Structure 1
Amino acid sequence: MSSFGAGKTKEVIFSMEDGSVKMFLRGHPVPMLIPDELAPTYSLDTCSELPSCQLKLDWVYGYRSRDCRANLYFLPTGEIVYFVASVAVLYSVEEQRQRHYLGHSDDIKCLAIHPDMVTIATGQVAGTTKEGKNGGNLLCAVDKSKDHMLSVWDWAKETKVVDVKKHEKPKYVLCVTFLEGGDVVTGDSGGNLYVWGKGGNHITQVVLGAHDGSLFGLCALRDGTLVSGGGRDQRVVLWGSDYSKLQEMEVCEDFGPVRTVAEGHGDTLYMGTTRNSILQGSIHTGFSLLVQGHVEELWGLPAHPSRAQFVTCGQDKLVHLWSSETHHPLWSRIIEDPARSAGFHPSGSVLDVGTVTGRWLLLDTETHDLVAIHTDGNEQISVVSFSPDGAYLVVGSHDNLVYVYTVEQGGRKISHLGKCSGHSSFITHLDWAQDSSCFVTNSGDYEILYWDPATCKQITSADAVRNVEWVTATCVLGFGVFGIWCEGVDGTDINAVAHSHDGKLLASADDFGKVHLFSYPCCQPRALSHKYGGNSSHVTDVAFLWDDSMALTTRGKDTSVLQSWRLQ
């Protein structure tokens, strides 16, 4: 017997007689079968090896604007700077290149640019909200205490100048910009513009009803004009130096209302919207999508079987098919229910999307048209998976059942075959044998069961499945992956795993915001790994592109982010 862990003790027991390893999660025994070729020489005392390659953050998809303001700026380097999750992104639109600042440990909520246009301040939750003063020597911060203390700091000396409590009745000034001549312009929750004279606190001009509803974004342009962005009316308005309306346009409803506006080169403007998108263009020529984001947590992340493409889907009912080369969606589709899982047919021509209501749908990946829609139970579909030969589709549900379908016509014709009953808790993960002869499932109470898809019966013979070669490794419980479980985890802390297609690497996604990279198979207790952050909340899924050039991760909570990591 060998054991590991402290506090929450997790024993790992190796039985030479049975050819098995048994670990314990929350007191539940989890027996795992050792392949015959490994059993004679297997030892729990063998040290695991670190993988020979590592991950480097290559691209961060998405943008956080739904609950933030004034967080998009254009730099003299030609980059726009913004944030999402705990990552500050510097994005060169012209070169299609990103740089990343990864020093934060939790969600960034605010960003300010020093007048020198080189120094950038960012503030994270449970910390301070920072906004640079016009002179550049002082920094304002508002904390999240009950009194919401406003403090002014000499940031270079790291000393506090003054602090003050909040007003009992908040003033709904939503945005502010400083004009070249020294005047200050503010926008409020009533959609009004106020101009405050230089050096005083008196209002010199008012534009009532500049927008229908709250006015969230203001940007003073180099030519002396002013751009404002509204909330409810979704309008962008260009104002003259005398505050007469020169031009206006309405932002497409799909992008959401404007949150912030930044001036780029020439007449180019960048706008952040409440649907976590960044638009690029001008009031004269219109705007196009530059950065696409989700607005709620993501759960589905299947990679295309033969192309540099992948799908994301989640609580916001959006399904995106992405190109990893252009970093833009090839198409997007809104579905009726929040999505929970997704999977490609081996041909890549059909995509299955499982939802939280028990419904699942088939989409044509070329046209994104609906091919079919089915319902199995009334609980969420946690996993959908086609067999490697394309002959079967299995649907794992939170009703503890796995529904099995036969597949014809490249995934376009589905026929119900039966259901697999035997789990005493909801289905969490599923993997297929390389020859499609069987599949294995994990459940919420840490069971590992094996199934024959042709009969929908459980395979109870250990010898029948001990030496099966699995085409994927998405199950978080199994001999080939149990080394991912470290001390202190409770059995629900690891959300997803995936191995590379060459079978050498294993990546895990956990509730602590971390991505781990292990060598595969990962069958030693507390296996060594490379660890990566950048995700401030739980990481919901992980996948490798078809050619193993990239690893992909998604996160949950309130502003989902998709990150791609280059293998090097």
Structure 2
Amino acid sequence: MSVYPGNKQARALAYSPKWGHIAVGSNFGKVSIRDFKDFDTKIQTLKNAEEWCEMIKYSPCEKYLATGSHDNQVYVYEIVDGKYNLYKNFNKHSSYVQAFDWSLDSTYIRSADGAYDKLYFNITTKQQDSAGLNNTKDMEWASHSVKLGWDVQGVHPAGEDGTHVNHLTVSNDKSVVASGDDFGLVNIFRFPCNDNSSESRSYAAHSEHVIRVEFTEDGKRMFTIGGQDKALIQWKKK
């Protein structure tokens, strides 16, 4: 999918049912907000990120939009009457932002970067929470794309540094976690997966590395996106 010609293709997408918007991140960091029912209608362009955004997500309350950029920052926008205003840019990461998750109550973001640091940000106070791991221990998360944590550490085989795992996600019923890796495999584990010797089922369909894995809301289907093979594959649970 692309909203621009040439080397300005879309790198990340997010959809807001409340606003009827789709947010599209380009190769150069700009985020284009479009009308979901009329994609040619541009609502706003967000130009704060200096490099491309690997992940874009609306908060569960849909009051905010967050982007994780390769300029090492997490940008949070507040949405008022359909207009986006920069609320806070968190600049505590030492490497590019690889993934992040919103808490279910929209008060926290947890994010992971290319240096394998996992940070927590309090949206209400607009501050990094250095004690976030403890302060959010009983918190529910709207997604599970951060690949660092006791509940997903088993997706990384013993002796591996974890770089070959590109993305992971957990089904809504929290029964399984799926990962996509550099070997073109889609791997399914039981969740939580806190043992490096955990058994998995691995499926090969992509010819190159797998960059995204997502379950449907009911967990009966899964979609995966390949890197160089540019393939979108749909999987059905039997």
- Shorter-normalised TM range: over 0.9
Task: Give the superposition deviation at 1:346.
Answer: 4.9
- Determine whether 1:561 maps to 2:220: no
1:447 to 113, 117, 121: 117
In the alignment, what sits opposite 2:50? 378
Letter aligned with residue 352 of structure 1 = A
Q: Is the CA contact (8 Å cut-off) linking 2:216 and 2:222 kept in structure 1?
A: yes
Structure 1 gap segments, 5+ residues each: 1-312, 319-333
Post-superposition Cα deviations, 1:228-275, rounded to whole Å, max 9, x if no partner, equal xxxxxxxxxxxxxxxxxxxxxxxxxxxxxxxxxxxxxxxxxxxxxxxx
- Determine whether 1:340 maps to 2:11: yes
TM, length-normalised to structure 2? 0.92
Q: Is the CA contact (8 Å cut-off) linking 1:362 and 1:371 kept in structure 2?
A: yes
Letter aligned with residue 117 of structure 2 = E
- Determine whether 1:500 maps to 2:148: no
Post-superposition Cα deviations, 1:69-102, rounded to whole Å, max 9, x if no partner, equal xxxxxxxxxxxxxxxxxxxxxxxxxxxxxxxxxx
In the alignment, what sits opposite 1:417? 87
Structure 1 stretches of 4+ with a deviation exceeding 3 A read 487-490
Cα gap change, 1:518 to 1:347, in 2 (>3 Å): farther
In the alignment, what sits opposite 1:433? 103
The separation in 2 between residues aligned to 1:347 and 1:492, in whole angstroms, is 36
- Determine whether 1:391 maps to 2:60: no
Task: Give the superposition deviation at 1:455.
Answer: 2.9
Task: Give the superposition deviation at 1:348.
Answer: 7.3
Structure 2 gap segments, 5+ residues each: none
Task: Give the superposition deviation at 1:477.
Answer: 1.2
CA RMSD of aligned residues (A): 1.6
Task: Give the superposition deviation at 1:533.
Answer: 0.4
- Determine whether 1:532 maps to 2:235: no
- Determine whether 1:354 maps to 2:25: yes
Alignment of 1:266-285 (within 5 A): none
- Determine whether 1:475 maps to 2:146: yes
Q: Is the CA contact (8 Å cut-off) linking 1:380 and 1:397 kept in structure 2?
A: yes
Cα gap change, 1:347 to 1:499, in 2 (>3 Å): farther
Task: Give the superposition deviation at 1:496.
Answer: 0.7
SS at match of 2:212: strand
Task: Give the superposition deviation at 1:564.
Answer: 0.6
Post-superposition Cα deviations, 1:131-162, rounded to whole Å, max 9, x if no partner, equal xxxxxxxxxxxxxxxxxxxxxxxxxxxxxxxx
Alignment of 1:40-119 (within 5 A): none
The separation in 1 between residues aligned to 2:70 and 2:179, in whole angstroms, is 22
Q: Is the CA contact (8 Å cut-off) linking 1:346 and 1:388 kept in structure 2?
A: no
Q: Is the CA contact (8 Å cut-off) linking 2:108 and 2:122 kept in structure 1?
A: yes
The separation in 1 between residues aligned to 2:147 and 2:221, in whole angstroms, is 21
The separation in 2 between residues aligned to 1:547 and 1:474, in whole angstroms, is 18
TM, length-normalised to structure 1? 0.40
Cα gap change, 1:379 to 1:463, in 2 (>3 Å): same
The separation in 2 between residues aligned to 1:362 and 1:537, in whole angstroms, is 30
In the alignment, what sits opposite 1:542? 213
Q: Is the CA contact (8 Å cut-off) linking 1:505 and 1:518 kept in structure 2?
A: yes
SS at match of 1:483: helix
Q: How many residues align?
A: 234
The separation in 2 between residues aligned to 1:344 and 1:480, in whole angstroms, is 27
SS at match of 1:378: coil
Q: Is the CA contact (8 Å cut-off) linking 2:49 and 2:75 kept in structure 1?
A: no
The separation in 2 between residues aligned to 1:486 and 1:448, in whole angstroms, is 19
SS at match of 1:463: helix
Post-superposition Cα deviations, 1:261-298, rounded to whole Å, max 9, x if no partner, equal xxxxxxxxxxxxxxxxxxxxxxxxxxxxxxxxxxxxxx
Larger radius of gyration: 1
In the alignment, what sits opposite 1:262? none
Letter aligned with residue 4 of structure 2 = I
Post-superposition Cα deviations, 1:13-58, rounded to whole Å, max 9, x if no partner, equal xxxxxxxxxxxxxxxxxxxxxxxxxxxxxxxxxxxxxxxxxxxxxx
Letter aligned with residue 152 of structure 2 = V
The separation in 2 between residues aligned to 1:499 and 1:344, in whole angstroms, is 19
- Determine whether 1:464 maps to 2:135: yes
Letter aligned with residue 514 of structure 1 = L
